[in-house]
């Protein structure tokens, strides 16, 4: 009789992408269609926006508290984004992964590369999948940049540089998902997670 397959460890799903691509909207939809997933709640020094709930959207903390947690190595990764600090709670992630859960992280590109470094150095022993969300306009932009030469040269160059920078970052990810429609982007991520879950099984 073959040994029953058992889950080696959980799965960490890192969702990132350029700011403004609609990551949080897609992630919100993902949790609707896949309620078994666990969401990591980041700590931030940013002030809450109307409707944001402490402990649900973010763990809103002071700069002093944030600095203390950095010193105490309480964050798996942290980064400064648009003038505020954001950090991923280490203990929560490690505990849930040990339990075999699937945990989702929604972070900026700096956060994703920090997690990647942790995996590569062996400091984070977990199955991790990196998903990069792009707006459909990046596709269109790349296509147009190749085709036409009518734009102001400076603008074209700026866009080209930005697109190239994004493409270089994209290469480091396991999957690239185009956020054409929120529903379909969330469905694609759900499918990716289901495939990746199978890869974490060992005999
Ligand atoms: P917002 O303030 O609009 O909710 O988020 C701003 C940016 O911070 C987004 O790109 C979001 O993905 C990113 N972010 C949220 N939490 C974290 C985190 O814990 N670590 C990192 N590196 N980025 C985060």
Residue 17 has pLDDT above 80, yes or no: yes
CATH number for domain 7-40+100-202, candidates 3.40.1030.10, 3.40.50.300, 3.30.460.80, 3.90.1150.10:
3.40.50.300
* C-alpha to C-alpha distance for 124 and 117, rounded to whole angstroms: 9
Atom of ligand 1 nearest to the CA of 112: 22
Which value, to the nearest 10 degrees, does the dihedral of the CA atoms of residues 85, 89, 90, 95 take? -170
CA 85–ligand 1 middle distance (angstroms): 8
142 backbone dihedrals φ, ψ, rounded to 5°: -60, -40
Task: Identify the DSSP state of 80.
Answer: E
* C-alpha to C-alpha distance for 203 and 52, rounded to whole angstroms: 43
Q: Each residue of 18-72: pLDDT tens digit?
A: 776 788 899 999 999 999 999 999 999 999 999 999 999 999 999 999 999 999 9
pLDDT band at 179 (very low <50, low <70, confident <90, very high): confident
With contact defined as beta carbons under 8 Å apart, do 110 and 79 qualify? Answer: yes
Residue identifier of the C-alpha nearest atom 24 of ligand 1: 107
Beta strands in the chain (DSSP E): 6-7, 11-16, 38-39, 43-44, 59-60, 75-81, 84-89, 102-106, 127-134, 175-178, 201-202
Kindly give the residue spans of alpha helices, DSSP state H, lying in the chain: 23-33, 63-71, 90-98, 109-121, 136-147, 153-170, 182-199
Residue 150 has pLDDT above 70, yes or no: no
Q: Each residue of 82-104: pLDDT tens digit?
A: 889 999 999 999 999 999 999 99
Of 78 and 24, the structure prediction assigns the larger pLDDT to 78
Long-range contacts of 90-97 (CB under 8 A, 24+ apart): 92/40, 92/41, 93/12, 93/40, 96/10, 96/38, 97/9, 97/10, 97/11, 97/12, 97/126
Ligand 1 surroundings by CB, under 6 angstroms: 19, 23, 42, 46, 77, 79, 81, 86-88, 106-108, 110-111
Q: What is the pLDDT of residue 167?
A: 66
Query: Domain-by-domain residue ranges, the chain?
Result: 7-40+100-202
Which residue in 107, 119, 126, 118 sits closest to 12, CA to CA? 126
Look-up: residue for tokens 């972070």?
A: 107
Q: pTM to 2 decimals?
A: 0.86
Atom of ligand 1 nearest to the CA of 24: 12
* C-alpha to C-alpha distance for 140 and 145, rounded to whole angstroms: 8
Q: Cα(first)–Cα(last) distance of the chain, in Å? A: 12
Which residue in 15, 9, 56, 17 sits closest to 166, CA to CA? 17
């Amino acid at each position: 009789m073959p040994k029953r397959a058992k889950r080696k460890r959980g799965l960490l799903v890192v969702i990132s992408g350029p700011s403004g691509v609609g990551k949080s909207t897609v992630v919100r939809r993902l949790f609707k269609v896949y309620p078994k997933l666990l969401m990591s709640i980041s700590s931030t020094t940013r002030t809450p926006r109307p409707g944001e709930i402490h402990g649900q959207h973010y763990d809103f903390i002071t700069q002093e508290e944030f600095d203390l947690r950095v010193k105490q190595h309480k964050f798996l990764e942290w980064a400064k984004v648009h003038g505020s600090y954001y950090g991923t709670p280490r203990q929560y992630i490690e505990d849930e992964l040990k339990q075999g859960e699937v945990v989702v992280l929604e972070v900026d590109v700096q956060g994703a590369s920090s997690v990647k470094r942790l995996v590569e150095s062996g400091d984070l022993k977990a199955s991790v999948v990196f998903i990069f969300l792009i707006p459909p306009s990046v596709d269109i932009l790349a296509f147009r940049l190749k085709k036409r030469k009518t734009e102001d040269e400076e603008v074209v160059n700026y866009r080209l540089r930005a697109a190239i920078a994004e493409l270089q970052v994209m290469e480091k990810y396991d999957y690239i998902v185009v956020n054409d429609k929120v529903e379909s982007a969330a469905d694609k991520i759900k499918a990716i997670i289901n495939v990746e879950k199978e890869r974490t099984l060992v005999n």
